[in-house]
Amino acid sequence: MSEVTIIGVDLAKQVFQVHGARADGSVAFRKKLSRAQFMPFLAKHPQCTIAMEACATAHGWGREIGQLGHEVKLIPPQYVKAYVKRQKNDKADAEAITEAASRPTMRFVEVKTVEQQSRAMLFRSRKMFIGQRTQSINALRGHLAEYGVIGPKSKAGLKKLIAALDAENNGLPNLVCGTARMYLEHIDTLSTKISDLTKQLESVSKSSGTVRRLKTMPGVGLQTALAIEAFAPDMSCFKRGRDFAAWLGLVPLQRSTGGKDRLGKISKMGQKDIRSLLITGAMSVITAATRFGVRKGSWLAKMLDRKPKMLVAITLANRMARAIWAMLTKQENYRNPEAMA
């Protein structure tokens, strides 16, 4: 047991498969442990590297295992897949995790703190409720459209549907009116929850210096700043801003071969929440520049003259990601490069 340097763990709800390997890569043990046996086993084991896939419950286990003195390494599941030999099972997965963790060029995921996961839950819950509200509104519009009640896709459209239901001679069956009012009650409940979660996010942002710093950049609002703080790892793990932009998936997808560079659309191989919010924020900057004008000769003006707006938005989002890396590593607020020039 003292010779074991890496233990690969295939996580599950109740049964955990562990694979111990020595420094030379040889197998030391293979064990199947229950949930109750897992932590006592690691507590008795000498300190070593514990490797797991960065999947559900991995960050919680990583924090608990780290308190025992072990070094925790989380690996993206797509990087482990290449090391699975033939058939997929728990033993093969645990062995593949151990093998992947022993590679010197392997990339790992930072273990999230309790605060990060708490804010991530708040952010994702609000996003889920917004999706459910949109789904409910669209369902109500679709049902009432069958009876000739048409409402546009907006809050004003919902008001029009409510007015049609409240009308005395609307010509709708009582069963339809009753069901539609159930939809409206559900939509009101979701709106109240969204409002409460938004207030919680705003209160969290007031106590966070990182959020206040990020909001100084044009195109970065409350949601984007909170998403970066909740989902992004410590910026010190990236050597440069381009690495952070690549981590977000804001770089071209490569299909290069034979010394020929073949670049396609953006890879989208990173954190989708931050990426989509940065692109949305970049589009808002472009919209404002189009409406109020932009300085002639600037980078943005030249790009808008030659390229489509969506392409310019993605390029601007890439630049924003690199600037965010610089802001957080240097602990500085946003400085307009054109103004500094």
- For residue 334, which amino acid is it? Y
Q: Note the pLDDT tens digit of each residue in 266-293.
A: 888 888 899 999 999 999 999 998 888 8
More confident residue, 172 or 129: 129
Under 8 Å between Cβ of 24 and 3 = no
Q: What is the largest CA-CA distance in the chain?
A: 83
Q: 3-state class of 257 per DSSP?
A: strand
Rg (CA), the chain: 26
Res. 340: pLDDT tops 50: no
Residue indicated by tokens 């020039």: 341
Q: Report the pLDDT averaged over residues 12-25.
A: 92
Under 8 Å between Cβ of 190 and 184 = no
Q: Which two tokens mark 98?
A: 């151990």
User: Rounded CA gap, 246 and 241, in Å?
Assistant: 9
Q: Which two tokens mark 63?
A: 């924090």
Q: What is the mean pLDDT of the chain?
A: 90
Q: 3-state class of 185 per DSSP?
A: helix
For residue 92, give Cα distances in angstroms to 55, 98, 99, 167, 223: 17, 10, 10, 65, 40
User: Rounded CA gap, 61 and 33, in Å?
Assistant: 15
Under 8 Å between Cβ of 244 and 329 = no
Q: Which bin fits 234, alpha (ψ -120 to 50), beta or left (φ > 0)?
A: beta
DSSP E strands: which ranges in the chain?
Answer: 4-10, 15-22, 27-34, 49-53, 71-75, 252-254, 263-266
Residues contacting 191, CB < 8 A, separation 6+ = 133
Side-chain half-sphere CA neighbours of 141 within 13 A? 17
Predicted local confidence at residue 225, as pLDDT: 92
pTM: 0.83
More confident residue, 186 or 204: 186
